[in-house]
Chain A
Amino acid sequence: MTDSLTRRTLLRYGAYGAGAAALAGTAASWDRLTGADIPGRDDGSLVVATLGPAYGPEAVRTLTEGFKEVHPDIKLRINAVQAVDWSDFFAKILTQIAAGTAPDLVYVATEGVQLFAQRLGVPLDDWVKRDAGELREYFSDVHPSLVESMMYEGSLYQLPVEFNAADMYLNNQVLKRAGADFPAADWTRDDFTGLLRDMKKSSGSQFTPYFWTNRLWGGVVPWLFANDTNLLSESKAPGGGWLWDSFYPAAARQGRGGGFRWTTPQATDARVEEAYDYLASLIQEGLCTRPEGGNGQNLIGVFSTGRVGVTPAGGFWAGGLHLAGMKADGFDVQYFPRWRTQRMQYGAAGYALLRTSKRQEEAWEFIKYAARKDTLTRLFETNQTTPARRSMLTADRYRETGPNHWQVFYDTLDKFPNTGPIPAPPQVAEVEQVLLKHTGTALASRRSVAPALRRMQSDLEKAMERDV
């Protein structure tokens, strides 16, 4: 009895103690709980939303401090949204828009360019014309195709700061094992197939020559481009002359318009089917992995350890492979192989200015600042992306991380002027979902290609009819 009594008393005092501690702790951390200790909240700062994984705390600091030097009068807040992928990122931005607390600027990749342009964005045309002198240097350093991919119906909505084209990464050790030479720049699809076969023959069972991820960028689309087709028919919007005429020489202006238009679905096109048939045959032969959804987290590991020989990736992989412990000469990069054409695909990203912003002038200043060479140089130190500025791709930049043929990254644009962005109309979210979904079933066997593409076609038609 006494025992239980003392225990109970103890318990009670323990509970009082814990309660008091909790209260004291809450009181002490009140500022933390209410965010009152964060300087410069709701003080009329210019608010920029970036994608967290691409902009770590270090990058955010660099951007903020650099901007302060140039524009001490503009208060800036950068919110690095810690989203796992673009759809998480959009979920966050959309919720803020719905609540009327949208940021002024949003970092948007090709996937979202037209959606933002159509619904949320402000064209930058007037500012670009006004500050033409200041921007001449920028445009001379950036490939017109990247700029065109940021245009919508004749107007420019973003200044691209980074891009990634799908090139072929090759593991040198696997090449050597197969007794194969580094492929020539103009290698063909059949050379590619032969290389995969050689790799397969010379390797053990825990090895698959070609690995890829089922997504819009770098999945099936590069093969469609190589086979001179596209998921949706592609054309150019009229207009854009105002930009091309004032910033680009005649040769570079050739064929440029007011941005891309992706309209009629053509999944049942013979060449699309041909591309799927080809991939299905590679899978059947054990030369290629089955399409897996999601991001490429595993991929770097299997490639760097030589369990994959070839994979499509962009400049962002140089830094990734380096982090994964791969030596600069352990891998190299070549263009995507030629099929009917050697057209390649890329995605780019930059800052979009939202219509709801009340600080559009300041926002424009940030856009210019973010596209400056010194800013990008400070930001892109680890090669986790490809800078949009040609002059930043130097031997020096790639000395430590590799690859040897780093010129391939920008030459994918310079030497192949028809290289274009992934198809991303305003309905991109649904288009992408339909593509991934039916690609998964199409490649289950060779016989399933045609029926799956028919279903893809009808789903794409429905998606494109929808008014976003």
Chain B
Amino acid sequence: MTNTQIPAVRPPQPATPPAPAPRTAARDRGSRLLATLFLAPTIVGIVVFTVVPIIGSVVLSLFHWNVIDEPSFAGAANYGEVFTDSTVLVSFRNTLVFMVFAVALQLVVALVLALAVNGRMPVWLRSVFRSAFFFPLVLSAASISVVMKYLFNQDFGVVNWVLGLVGVAPVPWLTSENAAMATVILVYVWQQFGFSFLLFVGGLNNIPKEIHEAASLDGATGLRKHLNVTLPLLSPTLLVASVVGIINALQVFEQPYVLTNGGPGDATRTVVMVIYESAFEQLRFGEASAVGVLLFVLIMAVTALQFRLSRRFVHYQ
């Protein structure tokens, strides 16, 4: 993150910046003191409840530990194990595939719907649509996945029944290797897109009407207008939505756990599922920690990459 703050929308700026405020040592001290006070609750909390536990799991990743006996030092053995374990490797691939499609779909759906909702319509209707699209976010992922599991059942589910009405043969949504990942993505996106949707609605509201009008006058129409004018103006929002979307998608757990339990085969097994299974089901806490550390590194790398790329694609006014 850079420290140069350029708000996308600001009131008209004076041509020259106001004279810099007199900086005094006292003022700086005051600012530092205040910052310390303001940051203390967050930083202390993070250190105690996140940093210390993370250090704990990094250390743990160097040990064999089954919870019951004393841990024994393993060096890098757990990492070696991880890199040769086909289930772990597949789970990383699945997670990346899941991330790419889930985030892309989520952003596209949210963006299209946000543009559509932003169009001309009665105020009450717009409010109804907004609430509807946000609604799934309010629900618990675990309980709604139980419902979804029934709806997507191949033989008895409502989804296949509806498709049957239009002559589509029953789809094995959750029981075939090809369809299962798609279904998990669908259910996840269904629940999550509301968040990006709200971000986009907000972002669109912030784009001054004059810009649109100017673009229309220049002859930009429909899709082209959105591609050339709206999207660049929305790019900071897109960045936020995709960063948060990716961080969440890389940690997906509930949906595959309830819908398919990782199957069929390993088709929908995600990294966090592997962590949970090897720690709490197979008592291999060291190896689970090693996978956790790798996932953490992966998320950081992806996020860093995003910010790097964003310098080229994100436009600030």
Task: Give A contacts to B, CB under 8 Å.
Answer: 84, 87, 90-91, 94, 97-98, 119-120, 205-206, 208, 211, 214, 289-294, 297-298, 301-302, 307, 429-430, 433, 436-438, 440-441, 444, 452, 468
Given contact pairs A291-B175, A297-B146, A440-B175, A90 touches B263 in the complex (Cβ within 8 A): no
Given contact pairs A208-B155, A438-B265, A290 touches B281 in the complex (Cβ within 8 A): no
- Do B174 and A90 touch (CB < 8 A)? no
CA distance A298 to B150 in the complex (A): 6
Say how far A165's CB is from chain B's closest CB, in angstroms.
24
- Do B265 and A437 touch (CB < 8 A)? yes
28 contacts between A and B (CB under 8 A): A87-B276, A87-B277, A87-B280, A91-B279, A91-B280, A94-B280, A94-B283, A98-B285, A119-B68, A120-B68, A206-B156, A289-B155, A291-B264, A292-B153, A292-B175, A293-B260, A294-B259, A294-B260, A298-B149, A298-B153, A298-B156, A433-B282, A437-B263, A438-B265, A440-B263, A444-B176, A452-B265, A468-B66
CA distance A430 to B279 in the complex (A): 11
Given contact pairs A208-B155, A307-B156, A97 touches B265 in the complex (Cβ within 8 A): no
Task: Give B contacts to A, CB under 8 Å.
Answer: 66-68, 142, 146, 149-150, 153-156, 161, 164, 172, 174-177, 258-267, 276-277, 279-283, 285
Q: Which residue of B67, B142, B153, B264 contacts A97 across the interface (Cβ within 8 Å)? A: B67
Say how far B164's CB is from chain A's closest CB, in angstroms.
7
CA distance A211 to B175 in the complex (A): 13
Say how far B70's CB is from chain A's closest CB, in angstroms.
12
- Do A444 and B177 touch (CB < 8 A)? yes
CA distance A436 to B266 in the complex (A): 10
Say how far B63's CB is from chain A's closest CB, in angstroms.
13
**Nearest residue, chain B, Cβ from A119:** B68
CA distance A294 to B280 in the complex (A): 17
What are the residues of chain A within 8 A of B164 when measuring CB–CB? 205
- Do A444 and B264 touch (CB < 8 A)? yes
CA distance A437 to B283 in the complex (A): 19
What are the residues of chain B within 8 A of A430 when measuring CB–CB? 281-282
CA distance A289 to B174 in the complex (A): 12
B interface secondary structure, majority? loop
**Nearest residue, chain A, Cβ from B265:** A441
**Nearest residue, chain B, Cβ from A355:** B68
What are the residues of chain A within 8 A of B266 when measuring CB–CB? 437
**Nearest residue, chain B, Cβ from A215:** B261
What are the residues of chain B within 8 A of A433 when measuring CB–CB? 277, 281-282
Per CB-CB distance, the 8 closest pairs between chain A and chain B, nearest first, are A440-B264, A293-B261, A91-B280, A290-B175, A429-B281, A440-B263, A441-B265, A208-B155
CA distance A279 to B68 in the complex (A): 40
What are the residues of chain B within 8 A of A289 when measuring CB–CB? 154-155
What are the residues of chain A within 8 A of B281 when measuring CB–CB? 87, 90, 429-430, 433
CA distance A291 to B155 in the complex (A): 11
CA distance A398 to B6 in the complex (A): 74
Q: Which residue of A84, A119, A205, A440 contacts B265 across the interface (Cβ within 8 Å)? A: A440
What are the residues of chain A within 8 A of B149 when measuring CB–CB? 292, 294, 297-298
CA distance A430 to B287 in the complex (A): 14
CA distance A91 to B155 in the complex (A): 33
- Do A436 and B150 touch (CB < 8 A)? no
- Do B154 and A290 touch (CB < 8 A)? yes
CA distance A120 to B277 in the complex (A): 20
Say how far B257's CB is from chain A's closest CB, in angstroms.
9
Q: Which residue of B172, B176, B283 contacts A468 across the interface (Cβ within 8 Å)? A: B283
13 extra interface residue pairs, beta carbon distance < 8 Å, beyond A94-B280, A291-B175 = A87-B281, A90-B281, A98-B67, A292-B153, A293-B260, A293-B262, A293-B263, A294-B259, A298-B149, A433-B277, A433-B282, A440-B267, A468-B282
What are the residues of chain B within 8 A of A290 when measuring CB–CB? 154, 172, 175-176
What are the residues of chain B within 8 A of A208 when measuring CB–CB? 155-156
- Do B263 and A214 touch (CB < 8 A)? yes
CA distance A208 to B234 in the complex (A): 50
- Do A94 and B67 touch (CB < 8 A)? yes
**Nearest residue, chain B, Cβ from A298:** B150
What are the residues of chain B within 8 A of A91 when measuring CB–CB? 276, 279-280
Say how far B158's CB is from chain A's closest CB, in angstroms.
11
- Do B153 and A441 touch (CB < 8 A)? no
What are the residues of chain B within 8 A of A87 when measuring CB–CB? 276-277, 280-281
CA distance A391 to B161 in the complex (A): 46
- Do A441 and B280 touch (CB < 8 A)? no
Interface-central residue, A120, A307, A430, A452, by most chain B CB under 10 Å? A430
CA distance A297 to B258 in the complex (A): 11
Interface-central residue, B153, B176, B259, B264, by most chain A CB under 10 Å? B264
- Do B155 and A294 touch (CB < 8 A)? no
What are the residues of chain A within 8 A of B263 when measuring CB–CB? 214, 293, 436-437, 440
CA distance A307 to B280 in the complex (A): 37
CA distance A290 to B155 in the complex (A): 9
CA distance A211 to B155 in the complex (A): 10
- Do B161 and A294 touch (CB < 8 A)? no
Say how far A451's CB is from chain B's closest CB, in angstroms.
11
What are the residues of chain B within 8 A of A429 when measuring CB–CB? 277, 281-283
- Do A294 and B261 touch (CB < 8 A)? yes
**Nearest residue, chain B, Cβ from A438:** B265
CA distance A429 to B267 in the complex (A): 19
CA distance A421 to B174 in the complex (A): 29
Say how far B276's CB is from chain A's closest CB, in angstroms.
8
CA distance A91 to B282 in the complex (A): 10
CA distance A87 to B177 in the complex (A): 24
Say how far A300's CB is from chain B's closest CB, in angstroms.
12
CA distance A211 to B154 in the complex (A): 12
- Do B262 and A437 touch (CB < 8 A)? yes
- Do B264 and A441 touch (CB < 8 A)? yes
